[in-house]
Structure 1
Amino acid sequence: MDSIVVRGGNRLSGTVQISGAKNAVLTLMPCALLTDEGLCLENLPRLADVDNFMHLLNQHGASTMLEGGHNGGGRKMTVKAASIASTVAPYDFVRKMRASILVLGPLVARAGEATVSMPGGCAIGNRPIDLHLKALEALGADIELAAGYVKATAPDGGLKGGTISFPMVSVGATENALMAAVLASGETVIENAAREPEIVDLCNCLVAMGAEIEDIGSDRLVVHGTDRLHGTTYSVMPDRIEAGSYACAAAITGGELMLKGADAHDMAAILAGLRDVGLGVQELADGVKVSADARLKPATISTAPFPGFPTDMQAQFMSMLALADGTSMLTETIFENRYMHVPELARMGADIEVRGRTAVVKGVDELVGANVMATDLRASMSLVLAGLAARGETKVLRVYHLDRGYESLEDKLSAVGADIERVSEG
């Protein structure tokens, strides 16, 4: 099993090319199931989750073709589901990542039925799919749960437009509802919809495929169903979480990085947090430039649905604030079990106390390298960040989590001055 070894103390400086967004591409790929024509996705990141989702689409009968190189936005994938060979998403595929549940809406909308295993993914807390199922029920689908699988069946004549009112904001449920509604007959209104940039990206892709969606970017989406969608070529948005993670790398090492391709608008809450801790932030036409020239200031941050501070940046900020000049407060409101990185950071000398959903982070003068265990995707990155600033050597184990969401991590960090390498063991 691979590990990542980081020898800390180097100041990072240079340019990092930001890849296509993991959280967007895994939503765009199932759109291919909505049409018998090809969907070409450009700016495709090279990630384990993308490969896993590609294999899942193959299971449903879609052909996939990869083209292009390694980094720099030159990679693309064409997915064509000329017919649906299977409406079953088996456990062996779905257990690897939670995003697999996103085939549910498209399969029911196009094929009239879907049987999908309950999803897996990072163990960061309870993430029930009841909102996904209630959305499909609002469009007329019949839902059965048995032996760890969800079976959804459309009524005779297909899904019907309806009103979907979410009691709480759910990104995944909004995505499934959108993909089901675009082929439903009549009008669908989605109330309390998620507003994340990845939702906007999905809407824009669906519109490019022939869908009719009003009020994109708002919390009330109106979808006018159509009989069929067509293929298109669409470029995946830049990864705001990857960009934020590298910004934290600049901050924790006292460095300066140009995050090429980053979209400042989509990162507004992240950039506000970085400015609060004393990081210099320049919003440029071709990206975002960040620089740190003094010890970081403490901050009080609470995660929230977009446009609030993203839960996917909480762990990275915690590592950064572990070296701040004072006491910070981080409150996690989205997932109840997203502090599993705290004991690992403590092994490196961080002073962090968890009180329910709040973590009190008292800044220390230095972190010290240690062997640490990655528990989930973003926690993995937080440990790499800590290693970049720590005295001595840090070994991060279970880095397969990182491969799910960060393209060419070691190459990108090495290119801007980090002493980091991947080591294969056994």
Structure 2
Amino acid sequence: MEDNSHFKGLKRRLAFDDEDSDVVLRRFKVLLPNGTSVGLTLKDLEHEISFQGFIDLIRDAYDDGSGDVTNTFENMWDLTPDTDLLMELPEEYTFESALADLIDNSLQAVWLNCENHRRLISVDVLENRISIFDTGPGMDNSDENSIVKWGKMGASLNRLYKIKAIGCKPPFLVPFFGMFGYGGPVASMHLGSCVIVSSKTKESKKVYKLRLARDVLLSNSGSGRSWRTDGSIRDPSDDEIVKSPHRSFTKVEILRPKAKNLDISKLQCKLKDIYFPYIQCDELSEGGKTVTPVEFQVNGVDLAEIQGGEAAITNLHSCNGSEFTVSLRFSLKKENSSPNASGSKVPRMANARLKCIYFPILKGKENIERILDSLEAEGCGVRENFENYSRVSIRRLGRLLPDARWVLLPFMDLRHRKGENSQLLKRC
């Protein structure tokens, strides 16, 4: 404030004098483009100040917090969705599916980090709240990276990255799952009645917050109605800085969660099954060494350190011999493909891998029976028996689809009669 360079280029006198004091005070309250405001008090200002000098003082007060920054604002963010999207929302969710949708967002975010930045996803499930913290690039109030895009259905940037996953190679660890752009808000509203999203980029000095309340959104739903919600800004906490040394992150907090008395141990095993190759994988290193692409924590426990889960138990009881895999490549002919933005037709393609694992019979007992016994002993809640136990697990871009539990693929069923090969291939 003592730098006289602010007062060069005299223009006009600003603000108001406090006539009841020997000290001349000039008080300002400036509304900023991001919807926040900064209060600034200048003492003993005997000179006129240039417009640029005044802007510099406002910038300094905003950046270092010395000004009186108003932190909370009503109707700060406009989240009005495209009306067509309201017709496409999923009818049912399980708790694990909704939580996994939020974790999917976090996984895609941390995957965008450069190599020297920490890739951490930390989930805490408590009685009064659920939080998902990730050290991804974060969001702010800029047009290209606005936190509004998290809460506005159909505006999320995640679905724009899905093209990066096309044509990838095994083990297909390219977690660009986004399809429709509304997984975050829908999953959050399923889990609880209110969600608070806090996010910060490396470039921003403040944390931007967005608050979604289910009752407020429902009361404003309908044709022609706008969805506006409260927001605020704050400084990053010490815990957030420790978790993310590169100072970018996103934290999603669900308040008043609907699910009660959850078995945290079972949840840890379930999430490890879903994200197993992202937690520990031996296909990314040349020597077959097991690596941990992403740090996954649930209630402070590193999922790489727990022993349970269907994927881990299945791997333990499988044969140690050479793997039998079939690589598949699918393509759509040009005449059948849809046109792109320029109007030309582009062929679509996809890669897949069929990986067959043998479970031997040891001492007269099927290892699948041992898997079921182990899952039962760990309380994993498997309701299947040897006859209907799922012999097929499906992963999309490394992420397990837990609801796709198929007993057999068509070619695995030995009960087909001669001459059924053509129909068999159609079913595949």
Structure 1 or 2, whichever has the larger Rg, is 2
TM-score (norm 2): 0.28
TM-score (norm 1): 0.28
